Amino acid sequence: RWVYGIHRSLDDPPGLNGCYSQYVILDPKTDIFQVPDDLDPAILVPASCSGATAAHAFSLRPPRRGEAVLVQGPGPLGLFAVAFARKFGADPVILVGGTESRLEVGRRLGATHTLNRRETTEEERRDFVLGLTDGRGVDLAYEAVGNPKALVEGLKLVRRGGSYLSMGFGVPAGSVTLDVYHDLEVRDLALYGVWVSHTEHTKMALELILERKDDFSHLVTHRFGLHEANEALESVRSRSAVKAVILP
């Protein structure tokens, strides 16, 4: 699971070898995918990161047809989770987030219900989920926020015997306090940690995009030249972009 720009040290030849460049020197063992020439490569960019991480989560615990799914976070990671959930036949698929434009993309990708966390309280979200699931809670929840508070809230929305998959913590974000007995053991809850991906997960994400090219074209909202890399990063930080792509 070595990733260019993340795992390789500056001490490894040829030194700085991330992907914010026109050319990249590839190791002979690098996995490469061939894609159609007539496909806009920009829409494939998310597959190697957020798409592959979501695919990893769904390979660990995919929903069965008709199971209720909650996705926390409408960024690229959460949006891929929505699309995978629908592909596996989950229903309903509830998406929670704070940016309406991202929630709209989520609806396009298959979210049957969306909740704006800026317009609802935690209690209101809980009442909505329980009301939609006959008081049980969802069968599975996929965390795509990277916020400890979201994890604590999400665990409470999963039914007894359900599963919670945390995949949004790409960097350290602090600790959470859980009552292990009441929050996990008594409820027979399965808690998964999901860390990045393998090659087969990237393949899963690419295949999903190729199946729904038109829908995934709405994921990439901003495109920048290499000389605008700082602006691209700022658009992501400010959340004005759903997914920003740099075109070298």
- In three-state form (DSSP H/G/I as H, E/B as E, the rest C), the secondary structure along 194-238 is CCCCCHHHHHHHHHHHHHCHHHHCCCEEEEEEHHHHHHHHHHHHC
Evaluate whether residue 188 is within a structural domain.
yes
Instruction: Count CB neighbours of 157 within 10 A.
Output: 23
pLDDT recorded at residue 146: 94
Q: For position 99, which CATH number holds?
A: 3.40.50.720
pLDDT recorded at residue 1: 63
Evaluate whether residue 202 is within a structural domain.
no
Evaluate whether residue 233 is within a structural domain.
no
Helix axes 122-132, 148-156, angle to 10 degrees: 40
Evaluate whether residue 154 is within a structural domain.
yes
Find the domain containing 79 and state its range.
Answer: 50-193
Evaluate whether residue 7 is within a structural domain.
no
Evaluate whether residue 174 is within a structural domain.
yes
Evaluate whether residue 27 is within a structural domain.
no
Evaluate whether residue 103 is within a structural domain.
yes
Q: Is the pLDDT of residue 65 over 90?
A: yes
pLDDT recorded at residue 25: 83
Question: How distant, in Å, are the alpha carbons of 67, 110, 116, 186, 217 from that of 103?
Answer: 21, 11, 8, 34, 15
Burial class (CB in 10 A: 0-12, 13-18, 19+), 212: middle
Q: Mind listing the pLDDT tens digit for each residue in 121-178?
A: 999 999 999 999 999 999 999 999 999 999 999 999 999 999 999 999 988 888 888 8
Nearest to 204, CA basis, from 95, 107, 88, 90: 88
Q: Please report where in the chains the tokens 């995009």 appear, as a residue.
A: 209
Q: Is the pLDDT of residue 102 over 90?
A: yes
Q: How many separate domains does the chain show? A: 1
Q: Is the pLDDT of residue 221 over 90?
A: yes
